[in-house]
Structure 1
Amino acid sequence: MTDFKKDFPILDKEIYGKQLFYLDNAATSQKPNLVLDTISDFYRSDNSNIHRGVHYLSEISSEKYEKARQKVCDFIGAGNPDEVTFTAGTTDSINQVARSLEPVLKGNEVMITGVEHHSNIVPWQLAGAKLRAIPMDFDCNLLMDSMEITAKTKLISISHVSNVLGSVNKIKEITGIAKDHDIPVLVDAAQSIQHLPLDMKDIGCDFLAFSGHKMYAATGVGVLYTSERFSDIMPAKGGGGMVDRVTLEETTYLDPPLKYEAGTPHIAGAISIGAAIDYMQNIGMGRIRKHEHEVYSYARDRLLETDGVTVYGNTEEMCGSISFNLDGIHHYDTGLILDKMGIAVRTGHHCAQPLMRSLGTEGTVRASFALYNTKEDADMLIEGIEKVRMMYA
């Protein structure tokens, strides 16, 4: 099994005198040298604002920024780079769609799932929409036969992969149903962009949102893919850089994607997404998927075999995250003790309170995996869990 840890300098770090075992990748991923060097080189050598200057540094920065946009376009199989907007992250991307579609959504319904992150709940409520979830069973499989679309359903917005459970939703099946009713679909790909190959032409969604920091790039930057049929929606933000002509009476806008990128963007962040894509493609998404599947399956099996551990969710396809609790031990206490052993996990409701209520718990321990994790990380997690149980015996 390939070990990619050598590419990530932070993974050499010791925590409380112990080797770091980082299993909090659903919150944020660590950064490889290629990305770190790219960010540093930009600020050291090229730093300038884009699209607004004729001087050398501005032209170089603009070229690198637009090259990153093309890389994203190719990586997700978009039709052309004009469909790719750089944002502040998944949350910002979803909020931009909610604001742009608010006139349509207000007083109508947005269909979601029961495993959504708050970022795919709150923006629709702020837009005045009523939310309705696709029914699911106890294992969190979506019950597609019970998916009821009405005349008031104006958008379907679903996570590709649950940030809590690691369950993979059948988004292509959902987009197929949506097309039959001419309803647009937004896919939250924050937890899939780093794990699974994505092809917009194959998936057929109208919007796709993801964050750079979940895919080995910088924080504070993300992407919103918008299909060509929605290229004329109103921008959610206004300011410099996105206008064609401004008078005190009215404003006209540039063509997409600049129309949706008001103000100075996170230039270095966008370029870092391009570098992260280079890194993943140099390895190969198929190879990444195979490696992660082996580690994830091994970790999940070991957790299921461990006495006194409840593992949540069980769908046909899973990746990334595993949520569990130790019987009789609060999830926070478990996470705190694991931390002292150098094992970084996440505890709490993971910004998914409706899901927690359906699972009958206030929170869970979440171990989440990335391409640099190995079976040794899983073994250390199990060893840590056994120590926690011994302390509470």
Structure 2
Amino acid sequence: MTDFRDDFPILEKKVYGKRLVYLDNAATTQKPDCVIDTISDFYRTENSNIHRGVHYLSELSSEKYEQARKKVSDFIGARDPGEVTFTSGTTDSINQVALSLAPFLKGNEVLVSGMEHHSNIVPWQLAGAKVKAIQLDDDCNLLMDSIDITDKTKLVAISHASNVLGCVNKIKEITEIAKDYDVPVLVDAAQSIQHLSLDVKDIGCDFLAVSGHKMYAATGIGMLYTSDRFSDLIPARGGGGMIDKVSFEESTYLEPPLRYEAGTPHIAGAISVGAAIDYLQNIGMSNIKKHEHDVYSYAKDRLLEMDGVDVYGNTDEMCGSISFNLAGIHHYDVGLILDKMGVAVRTGHHCAQPLMEILGIGGTVRASFALYNTREDVDQLIEGIKKVEMMYN
């Protein structure tokens, strides 16, 4: 597969005189020239607020914003662009669902997995729900037999792929189980949207939350798919742009998706998502998956063959992230030293403290991959780890 590093100008940067190896993609991906240019062009030549204006720039901005919505809809297999709401990110998407469903959730249960990001735990607690986790086996597979849906279970909220381990969960199977109990399903796809082809109709989920910055677009923009089953939810945000009529006595709202997009949205961010989707589709998601699988498997094999390195998670399908620790060396120290060698990784609990408790550790070193990473990047990571071990032994 072609080396796509040249499409990402920041990867030309030297870090402490070393070639930059960026392996923190689960936190945020770098941006290709086409996305950067799209954002710049918008502010230089098109900038205007959307939907409310009758002048040329407003109509142009509105058209590009809605074109981006259509691209997202097609990319995830939605039935209609009206099922896609722009938010500020995956966290905001999940919080909006939690706020809208709060009367329904309060005093009841939300079923999650044992590997969830805090963003798929805390919002449900704030909504007044009890969070219950599906158990994991020693390899961090979800124990499907432990799924316990009761009359108190009002939502299943599950990550497609772990931001810590890279484990890909069987979300279609989980959705089918939930359907047997008529329980809606939210999928957190923040860590899979950039790696795997998604089809919400095939998955059968009711909600799907993603972030633009995880898929090569701008920060501060996210998307929430809401099936037509929940098209009449009470909006979580109120203000301009989402109302039909307002009086001091009561207000009525527009039809989706505008009813869920109060105020001025991140217009440039939404348009950048459209540019990022064009970029991904020009390469082909199947080609991306094949390339990333090669780099990911190579990295995992190299780490597993090293003495004194513990690698966490081993499910049938994995993508994106690999977490590991070096025996006797704190993960934070490993990250600091790797940084001096030009290798950017993430250390800590990765906003997954319950998972760390299950694993019996305080944190990990996480290397996470994108389409521009190569085997050469992995080799530089491994050499860095060897130097860390030499410094401590």
Alignment TM-score, normalising by the size of structure 2: 1.00
What is the identity, as a one-letter code, of the residue corresponding to 1:246? Answer: V
| Mapped contact 1:89–1:220 kept (Cα < 8 A) | yes
Q: Does 1:301 align with 2:312?
A: no
2:145 and 2:113 map into 1 onto residues whose CA distance is: 14
CA distance in 1, matches of 2:149, 2:246: 42
Matched residue, 2:90 = 90
Tell me whether 1:186 sits opposite 2:186 in the alignment: yes
What's 1:66 paired with?
66
After TM superposition, give the deviation of residue 135 of structure 1 in Å: 1.3
**Equivalent position SS for 1:325:** strand
Is the aligned partner of 1:252 residue 2:252? yes
Partners of 1:2 and 1:335 lie apart in 2 by 29
TM-score between the two structures when normalised by the length of structure 1: 1.00
CA-CA distance at 1:2 after TM superposition: 2.0
Deviations 1:117-139 (A, max 9, x none): 00000000000000111111111
SS in 2 for 1:61: helix
Q: Distance in 2 between matches of 1:279 and 1:33?
A: 10
In the alignment, the residues of structure 1 paired with residue 352 and residue 136 of structure 2 have an alpha-carbon distance, to the nearest angstrom, of 15
How far the C-alpha of 1:145 sits from its partner, in A, is 1.2
Structure 1 CA distance for aligned equivalents of residues 220 and 128 of structure 2: 27
Q: Provide the residue aligned with 1:243 in structure 2.
A: 243
Q: Provide the rounded CA distance (Å) in 2 between the counterparts of 1:305 and 1:262.
A: 52
CA distance in 2, matches of 1:148, 1:65: 42
- Give, in whole Å, the separation in 1 of the partners of 2:2 and 2:351: 33
Name 2:292's counterpart in structure 1: 292
**Structure 1 segments unaligned to the other structure (5+ residues):** none
Aligned to 1:155: 155
Secondary structure of 2:98 counterpart: helix
* In 2: Cα distance, 1:4 partner to 1:84 partner: 29
- Note if 1:196 corresponds to 2:196: yes
Paired positions, count: 393
**2 CA distance for matches of 1:19 and 1:286?**
28
Question: What one-letter code is carried by the residue in structure 2 that aligns with 1:148?
Answer: D
Per-residue CA deviation, residues 310-353 of structure 1 (Å, 9 max, x unaligned), is: 00011110000000000000000000000000000000000000
Whether the 8 Å CA contact 1:2–1:291 is kept in 2: the answer is no
| Per-residue CA distance 1:135-173 (angstroms, 9 max, x = gap) | 111111011012111000000000000000000000000
AA at the equivalent of 1:9 = P
2:256 maps to a residue whose letter is P
Deviation per CA, 1:155-211, whole angstroms, max 9, x where unpaired?
Answer: 000000000000000000000001111000000000000000000110000000000
Residue 146 (structure 1) aligned with residue 146 (structure 2):
yes
Amino acid at match of 2:133: A
Q: Could you tell me which amino acid in structure 2 is paired with residue 109 of structure 1?
A: E
C-alpha separation in 2, matches of 1:30 and 1:92: 21
2:325 matched to 1:325? yes
CA distance in 1, matches of 2:36, 2:307: 41
The letter for the 2-side match of 1:83 is E
Q: Matches of 2:238 and 2:269 in 1, distance apart?
A: 21
Alignment of 1:25 with 2:25, yes or no, is: yes
Identity score, percent: 79
Where 1:119 maps in the other structure, the secondary structure is helix
Rounded Cα–Cα distance in structure 1 between residues aligned with 2:127 and 2:138: 30
Alignment-derived partner of residue 40 in structure 1: 40
Give SS of 1:101's match: helix
CA distance in 1, matches of 2:201, 2:245: 34
Amino acid in the other structure paired with 2:235: P
Structure 2 distance, partners of 1:17, 1:385, is: 18
Q: Which residue of 2 aligns with 1:114?
A: 114
CA distance in 2: counterparts of 1:6 and 1:17, whole angstroms: 19
After superposition, residues 331-370 of structure 1 pair within 5 angstroms as 331-370=331-370
Match of 1:102 in 2: 102
Letter of the 1:155 counterpart? L
Q: Give the partner amino acid of 1:203.
A: I
Partner of 1:129: 129
